[in-house]
């Protein structure tokens, strides 16, 4: 018989932390905490298998579940000394969702299950005659249960503001107004009782069903609703964004309730064992609320207080609150309950030692007794990732390798992006300060709802999403926004947690900001801002500014530098960059690039007047070619030859003049790049795109060209027409241009070599693009070698003072398949995996958008093969070509220069098949370095030494 319910509590548990697949993260860790002796209210976890069964069987449970739940429930009753549904000393339960990976706020939880007309008085009596507590709990039960079970799980989708939850909240607001109080805690027991009666009536009226008054009915209603919430709209959206599989399912945790709302010796809170924004751990970082239940902290209903005194002081300073006010109104837990604080601080240390990672915890204090309700590995910003990994390695909690493995390479992106320029920030108009909820800097146009954020962003605008507070429904808009601003909520509010997870700049709880959704505007300190106005956020300080602020590149020292040094220590794979300008090359070198893996030369043809020269060349290129062929055909007929030569003279002059104009300009470009590289190698790709890309396609442009070239517009149009190709990607481009027009190849080779002769330490590598046949390469190589020979002779050099490698890009499957032949001529390979994917999979890079999404959704390809290298197909070509090539030429240098070179999973693959280096855009260089180190460490750990290249080559 399969086991469906796992018990925990009372110092033991049937589950462990390793059983997340079955018990979900929450359940597995509740079990683990019980195991290591932490005070966890007892309960049991219903497995994810039941969820999967439930979904497949259309809402039915496995046969034995009821019996197993009954038994587990009885065990809790024994441990708690209370009975579920008992009128005198009733036991209440929370029913909590919990998937394998945490999905904060995405799924449902219902508290206080088991409160009925028969048990309310008993609860009050058994909790020290606390009627207020009982009615407060009942009010919460009705709110959560009617929303989660009776509305959402029943598939009802009322329009915004018409849902049962907001109607109930309305009723509560009305009552508060009537009683002239501001806070929930100021309502009396009688108030709450009246409110509960109103609630029950409202539920019946709106949902046309009475609120269930039977504990078991409530329990099973809650369990079913949690399972259903797995397929709720926002949960599905969240999984799509985070790449979490839809077939995992959630577990359900049924746990004895403890009451943080039983008076002023009670509280509830969330905390982190280290600061999730910065990684610091100088004090205990977290927030709590007196006399409240858990949901209140996250919901941002009241402003939570800091746990530690130091944290509380920092917070007050940030909020401009005087110390005296702070002590009276917002004291820390350290001050209000010093004994419990010390106990909690001890648990913090114990958890870190046990899990060897930063934990995110939930706790509740019931009349002075501390209970742990959750622990999980805490989400954190990239900065915190790096700092915590480095610190923990220094503290000896983890070793160096583990530290390298701890930082997700993709997260580094956040650290590499610009921060505000300090001087510009000082001058900017500060509107107010909120909480520094997620670091970074953002400038954008403000919008006030998630849909607008998505719409505007899709039009290419940068937006900042401002909300009073965010809720899980806003997830799409938050994802689209550059930064997030909220008027309400603390450091653990929904906005803050989600923004940190997304690595997005966020200022939360900026209390002075008054947002009016109706008029799409906000006011702050008497200043009004409309939708579309520019604002700037500093997520590291909490500052909100009007207008735009200049940004600059981040600092790469400190813990970041340490992690990068460690990465370099462990990686075998070299990391180069794709850069076309000296500036890009400099940035990349600062980020640790060991050279350039791809310089595209075509961009250089567009700068300034060069395009004019190049267009002159294109204008006559074909004529030159045709006449030359005629000349050859004329052979020993001097008469005919003379005639052709005469026709050829003018176009040839223009052709050669254009080349002569381009040569010094190209040479200058290369000199700049060589200089920026300071002795590092540089792979330069010869001209690649089809010629028509260099011609104007609109009337205005063609007219201008006609003026510049002094030829009729008609002729230009005819040329554009003639160069038009049906399938330019497979047309006259790449080495095919150099084969037809060898002088272009010669000019580029000359520019490269002459530049290298000018810059000390230059290490040029000339790359011929788009070959499919070794003969294409050898023809081009001949042209390059002749050019080199010519330069050498003219300069009377015995040999060049540097080595020139001549190699090719492998981007056509035929080249990969015949790599052994290609390597006879090529001294290096560089896989152009963008084109290799296009041609290998047969997906047009420009048109695949129409169907690739479906392909991924249907699981035909697990990931978009243009983003993540398709190991099974394109990867096989890479692997095979590498082996074949090295068989012919053992010293063959092999790298990759497609988009994949900066994508962690693809980098890992490149390590596994023994490439020498990957090359990626400058900002991805650190990511590639770290990904390469992780691949090497994992590889070693799997006891498979790197396949071919034991030593790293640059
Ligand atoms: P989430 O995954 O959204 O955080 P949880 O299942 O953790 O949802 O529950 C929501 C809130 O209810 C949390 O603050 C939690 O601490 C509180 N809570 C859950 N179970 C109990 C319980 N048995 N007693 C008291 N509070 C609880
Ligand atoms: Mg929780
Ligand atoms: Mg290409």
Query: Catalytic residue at 494?
Result: yes
CA of 832 to the centre of ligand 3 (A): 6
624-633 pLDDT, tens digit each: 999 999 999 9
Q: Which of 196-205, 226-235, 275-284 has the highest mean pLDDT?
A: 196-205
Instruction: Tell me the three-class secondary structure of 164-195, residue by residue.
Output: HHHHHHHHHHHHHHHCCCCCHHHCCHHHHHHH
> With bands split at pLDDT 50, 70 and 90, how would you rate the model's confidence at 243?
confident
Please report which ligand is nearest the Cα atom of 270.
1
CA of 924 to the centre of ligand 1 (A): 39
Cβ–ligand 1 contact at 373 (below 6 Å) = yes
Cβ–ligand 1 contact at 258 (below 6 Å) = yes
Q: For position 232, what pLDDT does the model report? A: 86
519 or 159, higher pLDDT: 519
Query: Catalytic residue at 51?
Result: no
Mean pLDDT of the region 137-142: 96
Q: For position 233, what pLDDT does the model report? A: 83
901-947 pLDDT, tens digit each: 999 999 999 999 999 999 998 888 999 999 999 999 999 988 655 55
Is 953's pLDDT higher than 50? no
Q: For position 943, what pLDDT does the model report? A: 67
602 or 532, higher pLDDT: 532
- Rounded CA separation 545/432 (Å): 7
Closest CA to 414 of 314, 499, 509: 499
Ligand 1 site-directed mutation target among 96, 344, 364, most atoms within 8 Å of CB? 96
847 or 579, higher pLDDT: 579
Q: Of the given ranges (80-84, 252-256, 436-440, 928-932), which has the lowest mean pLDDT?
A: 436-440
Cβ–ligand 1 contact at 96 (below 6 Å) = yes
Ligand 1 site-directed mutation target among 9, 43, 108, 109, most atoms within 8 Å of CB? 109
CA of 858 to the centre of ligand 1 (A): 35
Enter the tokens of residue 80. Answer: 């708690």
pTM: 0.81
* Atom 17 of ligand 1, nearest CA residue: 294
Mean pLDDT of the region 670-687: 97
Cβ–ligand 1 contact at 261 (below 6 Å) = no
562-583 pLDDT, tens digit each: 999 999 999 999 999 999 889 8
Mean pLDDT of the region 631-649: 91
Beta strand 828-831 pairing with 805-810:
parallel
Sheet holding 43-46, edge to edge: 12-13, 5-9, 43-46, 250-256, 93-99, 109-113
50-90 pLDDT, tens digit each: 999 999 999 999 999 999 999 999 999 999 999 999 999 99
Please report which ligand is nearest the Cα atom of 690.
3
743-787 pLDDT, tens digit each: 999 999 999 999 999 999 999 999 999 999 999 999 999 999 999
% the chain with pLDDT above 90: 77
Candidate list 897, 900, 910, 911, residue with the active-site label: 897
CA of 94 to the centre of ligand 2 (A): 12
4-20 pLDDT, tens digit each: 999 999 999 999 999 99
Torsion of CA 918, 920, 925, 928, to 10 degrees: -50
Q: For position 476, what pLDDT does the model report? A: 87
Q: Residues near 488 by Cβ (< 8 Å), separated by ≥ 6?
A: 300, 468, 469, 509, 511
Ligand 1 site-directed mutation target among 30, 253, 294, 298, most atoms within 8 Å of CB? 294
- Rounded CA separation 680/593 (Å): 9
Percent helix, strand, coil in the chain, to 5, is 50, 15, 35
What is the end-to-end Cα distance of the chain in Å, rounded?
59
Is 328's pLDDT higher than 80? yes
CA of 811 to the centre of ligand 3 (A): 6
């Amino acid at each position: 018989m399969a086991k469906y319910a796992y018990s925990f509590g009372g110092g033991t548990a049937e589950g462990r932390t390793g059983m997340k697949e079955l018990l979900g993260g929450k359940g597995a860790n509740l079990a683990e905490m019980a195991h290591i002796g932490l005070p966890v209210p007892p309960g049991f976890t219903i497995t994810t298998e039941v969820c999967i069964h439930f979904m497949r069987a259309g809402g039915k449970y496995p046969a034995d579940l009821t019996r197993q739940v009954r038994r587990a429930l009885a065990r809790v009753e024994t441990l708690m000394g209370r009975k579920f549904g008992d009128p005198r000393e009733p036991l209440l339960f929370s029913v909590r969702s919990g998937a394998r990976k945490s999905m904060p706020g995405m799924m449902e939880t219902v508290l206080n299950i088991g409160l009925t007309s028969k048990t309310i008085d008993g609860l009050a009596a058994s909790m020290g005659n606390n009627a207020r507590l009982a009615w407060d709990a009942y009010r919460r039960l009705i709110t959560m249960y009617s929303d989660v079970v009776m509305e959402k799980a029943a598939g009802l989708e009322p329009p915004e503001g018409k849902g049962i939850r907001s109607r109930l909240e309305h009723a509560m607001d009305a009552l508060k107004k009537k009683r002239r109080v501001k806070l929930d805690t100021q309502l009396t027991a009688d108030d709450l009782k009246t409110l509960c009666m109103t609630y029950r009536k409202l539920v019946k009226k709106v949902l046309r069903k009475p609120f269930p008054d039977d504990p078991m009915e409530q329990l099973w209603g809650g369990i079913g609703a949690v399972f259903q919430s797995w397929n709720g709209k926002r949960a599905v959206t969240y999984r799509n964004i985070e790449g979490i599989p839809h077939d995992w399912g959630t577990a359900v945790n049924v746990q004895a309730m403890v009451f943080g709302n039983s008076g002023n010796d009670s509280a509830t809170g969330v905390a982190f064992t280290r600061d999730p924004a910065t990684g610091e751990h100088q004090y205990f970082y977290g927030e709590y609320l007196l006399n409240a239940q858990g949901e209140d902290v996250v919901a941002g209903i009241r402003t939570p207080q800091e746990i530690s005194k130091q944290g509380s002081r920092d917070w007050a300073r940030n909020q401009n609150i005087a110390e005296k006010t702070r002590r009276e109104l917002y004291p820390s837990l350290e001050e209000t309950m010093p004994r419990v604080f010390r106990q909690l601080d001890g648990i913090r240390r114990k958890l870190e030692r046990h899990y060897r990672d930063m934990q995110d915890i939930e706790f509740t204090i019931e009349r002075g007794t501390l209970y742990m309700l959750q622990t999980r590995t805490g989400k954190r910003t990239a900065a915190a990732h790096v700092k915590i990994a480095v610190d923990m390695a220094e503290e000896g909690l983890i070793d160096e390798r583990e530290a390298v493995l701890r930082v997700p390479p993709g997260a580094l992106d956040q650290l590499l992006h610009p921060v505000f320029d300090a001087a510009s920030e000082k001058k900017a108009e500060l509107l107010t300060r909120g909480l520094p909820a997620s670091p970074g800097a953002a400038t954008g146009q403000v919008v006030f709802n998630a849909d607008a954020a998505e719409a505007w962003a899709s039009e290419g605008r940068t937006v900042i999403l401002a909300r009073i507070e965010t809720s899980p429904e806003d997830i799409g808009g938050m994802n689209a926004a550059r930064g997030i601003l909220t008027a309400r909520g603390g450091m653990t509010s929904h906005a803050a947690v989600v923004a940190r997870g997304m690595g997005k700049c966020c200022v939360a709880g900026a209390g002075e900001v008054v947002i009016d959704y109706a008029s799409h505007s906000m006011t702050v300190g008497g200043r009004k801002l409309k939708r579309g106005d520019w604002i700037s956020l500093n997520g590291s300080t909490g500052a909100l500014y009007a207008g735009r602020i200049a940004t600059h590149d981040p600092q790469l020292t400190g813990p970041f530098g340490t992690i990068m040094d460690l990465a370099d220590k462990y990686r075998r794979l070299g990391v180069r960059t794709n850069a076309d300008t000296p500036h890009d090359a400099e940035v990349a070198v600062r980020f640790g690039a060991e050279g350039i893996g791809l310089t595209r030369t075509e961009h250089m043809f567009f700068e300034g007047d060069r395009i004019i020269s190049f267009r002159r060349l294109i204008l006559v290129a074909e004529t030159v070619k045709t006449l030359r062929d005629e000349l050859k055909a004329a052979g020993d007929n001097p008469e005919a030859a003379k005639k052709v030569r005469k026709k050829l003279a003018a176009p040839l002059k223009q052709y050669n003049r254009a080349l002569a104009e381009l040569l010094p300009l190209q040479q200058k470009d290369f000199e700049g790049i060589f200089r920026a590289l300071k002795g590092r190698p540089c792979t330069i790709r010869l001209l690649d795109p089809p010629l028509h890309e260099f011609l104007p396609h609109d009337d205005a442009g063609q007219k201008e060209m006609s003026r510049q070239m002094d030829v009729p517009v008609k002729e230009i149009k005819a040329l554009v027409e003639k160069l038009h190709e049906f399938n330019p990607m497979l047309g006259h481009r790449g080495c095919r241009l150099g084969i037809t027009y060898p002088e272009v190849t010669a000019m580029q080779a000359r520019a490269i070599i002459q530049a290298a002769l000018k810059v000390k330490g230059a290490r040029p590598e000339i790359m011929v693009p788009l070959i499919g046949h070794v003969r294409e390469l050898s023809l081009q190589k001949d042209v390059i070698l002749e050019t080199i020979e010519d330069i050498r002779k003219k300069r009377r050099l015995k040999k060049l003072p540097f080595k020139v490698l001549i190699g090719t890009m492998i981007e056509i499957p035929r080249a990969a398949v015949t790599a052994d032949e290609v390597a006879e001529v090529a001294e290096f390979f560089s896989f152009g995996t963008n084109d290799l994917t296009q041609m290998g999979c047969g997906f047009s890079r420009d048109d695949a958008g129409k169907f690739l999404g479906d392909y991924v959704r249907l699981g035909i390809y697990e990931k978009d093969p243009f983003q993540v290298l398709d190991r099974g197909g394109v990867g096989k070509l890479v692997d095979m070509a590498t082996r074949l090539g090295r068989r012919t030429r053992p010293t063959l240098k092999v790298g990759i220069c497609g988009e994949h070179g900066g994508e962690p999973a693809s980098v890992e693959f490149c390590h596994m098949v023994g490439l020498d280096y990957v090359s990626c855009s400058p900002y991805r260089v650190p990511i590639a370095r770290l990904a390469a180190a992780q691949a090497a460490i994992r590889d070693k750990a799997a006891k498979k030494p790197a396949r071919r290249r034991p030593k790293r080559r640059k």
